[in-house]
Structure 1
Amino acid sequence: MTRHYEAAGAIDGDAATFWNDDTADQQPDTLTITTPAKVTVAGVAVTSHVDGIISEYQVQTWNGSAWVTQGKVSASTAMTRTISFADPVTTTKVRVVVTGVVNQSSRIAEVKPAV
């Protein structure tokens, strides 16, 4: 399967495509999603790819001057995890910072807003 290093592979609505980091066995890896206008999100659902499950990561949002950690996942083997924020956040940027993987590389199939 072709590996894609562009973030667009993680937000195209197709779980068969995905973002792939370009540094096998080296974390942290960061996937940043930027929207053209502010959006309000109450959380995100992060779906890994079967041959690159992310096991430890943080979901962060941009508050205009700094990144704010909205949730952390540890020791996960789940393909999809939903991270609910304590309060809805209005932002133009969401990022996933991967600090651990089950296999060699960080692979994210989809990042979607969650209710």
Structure 2
Amino acid sequence: MSRGPRPHRALAAAMPIAQLRGVFQMSGLGPERIYDISIISKIPVTFARVMFAPQILVAIEQIAGDFKDEIDKLRIIARDAAISAELWLRSKHGTWRFFLVTGTGLIEIDRDGKPLAAGGMPA
């Protein structure tokens, strides 16, 4: 499901979060982009897709369905202990949720990239 134009307000708000995690770089424009921000730190190197979420306080299963296309693109990125792919979602009120994209599901993480206690789900 397409979410429309690039989320400029969410991207602007994501930059300070990315900067806290390491050196970051914005990706180029275009519908073929896989991620919006790359973050280089000791470990892992992170590729994050930043999206606007009209409904952010929903079950992880709904997030997986609503952002299936973006998650599928992030799964193209090769991952191991040193490389991660993440989906960052922001509401119109400034609420954030972060997800680690694995080969089989999503794991909710905090803004530092550490898993939350609730765990994840297969997608």
The TM-score range, normalised by the shorter chain, is 0.3 to 0.5
Considering fraction of residues, name the structure with more helix: 2
Instruction: For CA contacts below 8 A with separation 6 or more, give which structure has more relative contact order.
Output: 1
Considering fraction of residues, name the structure with more strand: 1
> Normalising by structure 1, what TM-score?
0.32
> Normalising by structure 2, what TM-score?
0.31
